[in-house]
Amino acid sequence: MIPLYQCLLYLYSPGYRQEYGAEMLAVFCEARVEMSKRGLLARFVFSLREIAGVLFGVLDDYLRSFVGSERWILFPTRRFVMRSEFRFPKTTPFLMALILLGIVVAAGMGAPIRASLPGVSPLYVSLQTGLVMALPMVAVVFVFACAAGGAGWLILHMLRRSGVHRLSELEIPAAQK
């Protein structure tokens, strides 16, 4: 099955094959090893699914290059083709925080308008005062959450770089357990 899969990978365009071919083959080999522990029917379904996935991927690759568009819709291929263009940029959380800040500032600028309206109830004023007093606490929680998230990301980033994740694959002799 691996030689057939390698031949099918040659159907992709050279640029796509050069960028993703080795990784696709490695993932296929890992999945094939896992599938070898299952029954004959499961292996057959796996083989058909992988062949169909490669063929739909090849068709998708060539239609994208021919049409020149990232979003051609001739038939749905999302199940078979993994796309990387749907990732959020790393600046998304910062932009969302900036938008939230803009909303809070805009709401604060509306205070003179609210004050100029006649018949403002005392309940509304007390709610408004409570909101103004709660904003610093929300800001502190937001800063703390950002710091905790940044520290968590830094730890995971450093662990990935140092290879600590490979410790789970380490075989320890029975005498040392």
CB contact at 8 A, 1 and 47: yes
Chain centroid to CA 38: how far? 30
Predicted local confidence at residue 85, as pLDDT: 56
Res. 21 pLDDT band, cuts 50 70 90: confident
CB contact at 8 A, 150 and 119: no
Over 80: is that where the pLDDT of 87 sits? no
Name the residue ranges covered by the structural domains of the chain.
2-67, 92-169
* Max Cα distance, the chain (Å): 83
CB contact at 8 A, 28 and 12: no
Over 80: is that where the pLDDT of 124 sits? no
Percent of the chain with pLDDT over 90: 6
- At 33, give phi and psi (nearest 5°): -65, -45
- Tell me: the pLDDT tens digits for 44-81? 888 888 888 888 888 877 777 776 655 545 555 455 45
Nearest-angstrom CA–CA distance, 105 and 163: 45
User: What is the arithmetic mean of pLDDT over 158-166?
Assistant: 63
